[in-house]
Chains A and B, each alone.
Chain A
C-alpha cells in the first residue's frame, strides 16, 4: 500500500500547500492486546487468518495519506473494509491504536479531551449515514445544537441556523421535526448542522447511502455546489463509484483495512495497481474520465511507457 500511495496522486498543483489533513501510519485493531498487532508480521495476514490466530481484527491497518486544503478526498472500499473506522479515527470518535493524525499541522491523536472538544466544535464536523439528528428537537434547534453547546446565545444561534437553512435549501422547514421530513431533507439538516459552525474540514460517512437514487443525485449536486461556493476540505466516504467520481478530486481504495491505491479517477482507471482496484473502477465509463487531456499528459512516475498491460487491455473490453 505504501507504493500504492507513491504511484499516484500526490502530484499536481495540490502538492505545494501544506495538507489540511495528514494521516501517518494509522492503525485501529479490535481485540485483545491490539498494540501487539501493529507493525508485526501478523498484520500481513488476511482478516480471517489474523482473527483465527490472535482474536484481533485490524479494522484500519497502516494507513497514510494527505488531503490538500479545499480538496474532496473520497474513500471507497467494500463493506467491512474499514472506511467508517478510518473516518471515526480521524475525528477520534474511535481511539486509534497507533499512528498520527494532523489537522492543519496539529497532531490531534495527542489532543487532550478539552482540546479535542474545541477542535470538534470549531475546526471540523461530521455528516453521518443515518443522519444522527436529535428526534426531540426542531430542525432549527438541531442545526443550532453545535452552536448551543458552544455557549452561543439563542437569538444569535438561531440567526446563524437560519442562514445555513437557506444555504442547504431547507427554507420553510425550520420548525418541523426530523421525523416529519423525508430522508433527503433529513440529510440536508445533517449537512446544515455540520456547516453551522463554519468548519474548515467536513467528514462525511456515506452521507447519501440511505437515500433513494433521485434524491441522492440532488444531494450530490448540492455537495458539489457547496464545495464550489464554500471551498471546504472534505473527506467523503462512499460505496458508490459514480458518486466518488462525481464529487471526488482523488479517491483512496481500501481493502481489509489497508489503502490499496490513491489517485484521481483517471489515474485509477488508467493505472490500477492490482485486480482489486481494476475491478473496482471497471464500471467507470471510459468517456467519463479518460479524457484526452489525461491521455496526452506527460508521463508520471510509475506510468508504463510501453503500451497497455494485460489488465488494462481487459478493462478496455469491459
Chain B
C-alpha cells in the first residue's frame, strides 16, 4: 500500500517537473560561459594563487608539504633509476630491459607456473615492441612506489582497524568517502600543495589505494575463525603474541589478496595521474586523447592493458602460492629450493648482461611496431565508422535525441529552483526527510558555487549512462546469476573489466563515437557494467533454492520465476548495484571531459591548463564531490528503505 503511494508521488513530482520545465524553459538556468568566472571562483583562484606564492615562505610548506614532497620524490626516483631512468652518471638504469624481463619472469616462475612466467615475458616484450618500454618502466616504478607506501600505511592501519572497533569506526567515514570520490577530484588540490610531478601523483595514488589496503586487511583480521584465537588467549597469550603468532599468520593469505587489489587500484590511478605529472603510460594516452589520435591512443592503451594483466597475474600467482597451510613434502621442498636457486642465479646473470651489453640495456629501437599498430587501428576505426555508421552514429543519435536531450532539458535548462525542488522532493519520497534535507544542503552549495548548470549537465550524463548500464547490467546479471555456464563465460571479462584503468576505455569509444557527450556515456557504461553484473548476479544466486523450487512446483514459468521470485528477492542487490554503478559512471563521465563531454569534468581539466580558470576548476572538482555524495545518499537511502 505504502509502496503504491510512493510510486504515485514520484510520478506526480515528475509530471509537475516536466510541466514547469516546459513553461519556464531556458530561464534562470545559471548558465555560465566556459571562460567566465564568478566572484566566488575568482576568489578561489586567488586563494590558490596565494597558496602557490607562499610555497617558499609559509612554514606549513617549509616544514610539512615540501619535506614530504622531497622524500616521496626521492623514493620514487630511486626506484625509477633502478629500472627506468639513467642512474647516477651512467647512461642506463641500474638494470637494463633484459634484466627487468628476466627478474619479473623468474620471480613469477619461482612462485608460480612456467606458463604464467612465459605470459609475463611476452607481455613485457610486447610493451617494448610498442615503443613503450620507458613509459612502461615508469608506470611500473610509480606503481611499485605507490603500492609500497600504501602498504606501509595501509596494512598497519588495517590491522589496527581489524583489532579495534573504535579505530574502525573512526576510519569508516573516510574509507566510504574515498570510495565515492571520483578520481579526477583530488588531483588538482593535491597538485596545489605538492606541485605537479611525481610526488603529487604518488600521494594521489596512495589516497586512492590506501583505503583498499585498509579495508581488506581489517576485513581479513575481523573474519578469522575465532576459535584458535580464543584458544590462544585461554593459554595466556599476550595481545602481541596473539597477533603475531595467531592472527597474522591466519590472515596472511587474505592480506596478500588485498595487495593484489591495491596494486591494481594503484596502477589504474597512476595512469590517470599523468594529468598531474605522473611519468609513465598515462602520458601518451593523454597526449593521444588530446589530439584525438585513436591509433596512437591504442598503442599506449595496449601497453596499459598488458601491464595490468602482468601485475594481476603475477600478484595473484603470489597469493595462490599462499593457499592452504598444508606443507610440501621434503621432495617438493627440495624441488622448490632448486628452482629458486636456479632462478636466482639466472636473474643475477641477466642483470649482469643487461649492464654490460648495450642492446640488452636499452630497448633496441629497431624492434618497434608502434607505427604499424597505430596505422592498423586507425584503419580499422575508419572502416568501422564509415561502414558501421548506421550502428555507431545511429545508436548515438537515437540515445542523444530520445534520452539524453530530453533529460538534459529537464535538468539543466529548467530554472534551477525547479530542478532543485524536484530532486529534493524525489529524495524526500525515496529517502525521507533527513535525506531530503541533506540533498537540499548539498545542492544549495552547488548553486552557490556558480556551477549549477555544468553540474546538471554532468548529472544528466550520469543518469543516462546509469539507466543504460542498469538495463544491460541487470539483463546480463540475471543470465549470469541463473546459469553456471554463463558465469564461466563472463567471469574473465568481469575480472578483466575491473582491473583495467577507466582511462583506457576512452580510447576505443573515442574511435567509435568521436569527441561527443556520448563517448563519455559509452565509456561510463562499459566501465561500470562489470561491477553491476557482479553484484546483480550474486544477488540472484543468493536467492534461496527452496524459494525457487517452491515456485517451480507451483507451476511457474521461467519468466514468472525471474520476475516474481528472483528479481524481487534480489531487489536489494539491484539497488546496491545501481548505487555502485552510478558512482562508477560519475567517475568516468567526468574524465570524459577530455573527449568533449563538457560539464564539470571539462572545467576540472581546463582548470589544470589555464591559470585564470584554476579557481573554477577547483570549484568544479568540489561540485563533483557534492554531486557524488548527493547521488550516493539518495541511492543508499532507497536501498535501505526496501
Interface residues of B in 403-438 (CB under 8 A from A): none
Tell me which residues across on chain B come within 8 A of A128, comparing CB atoms.
227, 230-231, 234
Q: Which A residues touch B324, using CB under 8 A?
A: 179
A134 at the interface (CB under 8 A from B): yes
Q: Which residues of A contact B246 (CB under 8 A)?
A: 134
A27 at the B interface (CB under 8 A): no
How distant is the Cα of A43 from the Cα of B515 in the complex, in angstroms?
74
Are the C-beta atoms of A117 and B238 separated by less than 8 Å? yes
Q: Which of A95-103, A119-127, A218-226, A263-271 has 4 or more CB atoms under 8 Å from chain B?
A: A119-127
A contact residues around B492 at 8 Å (CB): none
In the assembled complex, B67 has its CB within 8 A of some CB on chain A: no
- Point out the residues of chain A lying under 8 angstroms from B236, CB to CB: 116-122, 146, 149-150
Apart from the given pairs A128-B234, A138-B327, A149-B245, 7 other A-B contacts in the complex at a CB distance below 8 Å: A126-B234, A133-B231, A135-B250, A148-B245, A175-B327, A179-B326, A190-B231
Which residues of chain B are near A116, meaning CB under 8 Å? 236
What's the nearest-Cβ distance from chain B to residue A234, in Å? 15
Report 17 cross-chain contacts, Cβ distance below 8 Å, ordered by A residue.
Answer: A118-B236, A126-B234, A132-B227, A133-B231, A134-B228, A134-B249, A135-B228, A135-B325, A136-B250, A136-B325, A145-B235, A175-B327, A177-B325, A177-B326, A193-B231, A193-B235, A197-B235
Partner among B228, B325, B326 whose Cβ is within 8 Å of the Cβ of A132: B228
Is B475 in the interface zone, CB < 8 Å from A? no
Whether the pair A93, B230 counts as a contact (CB closer than 8 A) is yes
**B556 touches A (CB below 8 Å):** no
> Which 10 A/B pairs are nearest by Cβ-Cβ distance?
A132-B231, A120-B236, A121-B236, A132-B227, A146-B235, A117-B236, A126-B234, A136-B249, A130-B227, A136-B325
Does chain A have a CB within 8 A of B498? no
Q: How far is the CA of A163 from the CA of B108 in the complex (A)?
A: 43
- Decide yes or no whether B290 CB sits under 8 A from chain A: no
Interface residues of A in 133-182 (CB under 8 A from B): 133-136, 138, 145-146, 148-150, 175, 177-180
Q: How far is the CA of A178 from the CA of B326 in the complex (A)?
A: 9
A131, CB-defined interface residue at 8 Å: yes
Interface residues of B in 220-275 (CB under 8 A from A): 225, 227-238, 241, 245-246, 249-250, 252
| Chain A, residue nearest B324 (CB) | A179
Contact B228 A93 (CB under 8 A): no
B327 adjacent to A120 (CB under 8 Å): no
* Chain B residues whose C-beta falls within 8 Å of the C-beta of A190 in the assembled complex: 231
> Which residue of B has the minimal Cβ distance to A196?
B235
Tally of chain A residues near chain B (CB < 8 A): 33
Least CB distance, A190 to chain B, in whole angstroms: 8
How many residues on the B side are at the interface (Cβ–Cβ under 8 A)?
Answer: 23
| CB–CB B227/A120 < 8 A | no
A233 within 8 A of B: no
Task: Give Cα A117–Cα B232 distance, bound, in whole angstroms.
Answer: 11
Complex CA distance for A149 and B245, rounded to whole angstroms: 9
Q: How far is the CA of A148 from the CA of B238 in the complex (A)?
A: 12
**Cross-chain contact of A121 among B235, B252, B326 (Cβ < 8 A):** B235
Task: Give the distance to chain A from B401, nearest Cβ to Cβ, in Å.
Answer: 60
Main SS of the interface on chain B? helix
Interface residues of A in 205-222 (CB under 8 A from B): none
CB–CB A93/B249 < 8 A: no
Contact B235 A134 (CB under 8 A): no
- Most chain A Cβ neighbours within 10 Å, of B231, B238, B327: B231
Would you call A109 an interface residue if the criterion is a C-beta within 8 Å of the partner chain's C-beta atoms?
no
Contact of B241 among A122, A130, A149 (CB under 8 A): A149
Chain A residues contacting B238 (CB-CB under 8 Å) are: 117, 149
A91 close to chain B: CB less than 8 A? yes
Kindly state the separation between the CA atoms of A148 and B228 in the bound complex, as whole angstroms. 16
Q: Which residue of B lies closest to A125 (CB)?
A: B235
A149–B237 contact, CB under 8 A?
A: yes
Give, as a whole number of angstroms, the nearest-CB distance from A102 to chain B: 19
Q: What residues of chain B lie closer than 8 Å to A122, measured between beta carbons?
A: 236
Mark out the residues of chain B between 300 and 353 whose CB falls within 8 Å of any chain A CB in the assembled complex: 324-327
Residues of B within 8 A of A136 (CB): 249-250, 252, 325
Contact status A149-B235, CB under 8 Å = yes
Q: Which residues of B contact A125 (CB under 8 A)?
A: 234-235
Question: Who on chain B is nearest to A138 by CB?
Answer: B327
A178 to B228, CA, bound (A): 12
How many whole Å from A152's CB to the nearest CB in chain B? 13
| A131 and B234 contacting across the interface, CB-CB below 8 Å | no
> How far is B249's CA from A36's CA once the two chains are assembled, in angstroms?
41
Q: Report the Cα distance A115→B255, complex, angstroms.
A: 34
From residue B228, how far is it (CB to closest CB) to chain A in Å?
5
Contact between chains at B233 and A93 (CB < 8 Å): yes
Write the nearest CB–CB distance from A94 to chain B, whole angstroms. 10
A132–B241 Cα gap in the complex (Å)? 16
Which chain A residues border B326 with CB–CB below 8 Å? Answer: 177, 179-180
Residue in B closest to A126 when the chains form the complex, CB atoms: B234
Docked Cα-Cα span, A164 to B325, in Å, equals: 23
When C-beta atoms are compared, the residue in chain A nearest to B248 turns out to be: A136
A197 to B249, CA, bound (A): 24
B residues within 8 A CB of A120?
233-236
Q: A132-B227, A132-B228 are in contact. Are A93 and B235 (CB under 8 A)?
A: no
Using Cβ atoms and an 8 Å threshold, which residues of chain B touch A175?
A: 327
Task: Tell me the bound Cα distance from A161 to B562 in angstroms.
Answer: 59
Contact partners of B252 in chain A: CB under 8 A: 136
Q: How far is A131 from B227 in the complex, measured between Cα atoms in Å?
A: 7
Contact with A along B363-391 (1 / 0, CB 8 A): 00000000000000000000000000000
Give residues of chain B (595-616) contacting chain A, Cβ–Cβ below 8 Å.
Answer: none
Across the interface, do B232 and A134 meet the contact criterion of CB distance under 8 Å?
yes
Which residues of B are found within 8 Å of A135, using beta-carbon distances? Answer: 225, 228, 250, 325
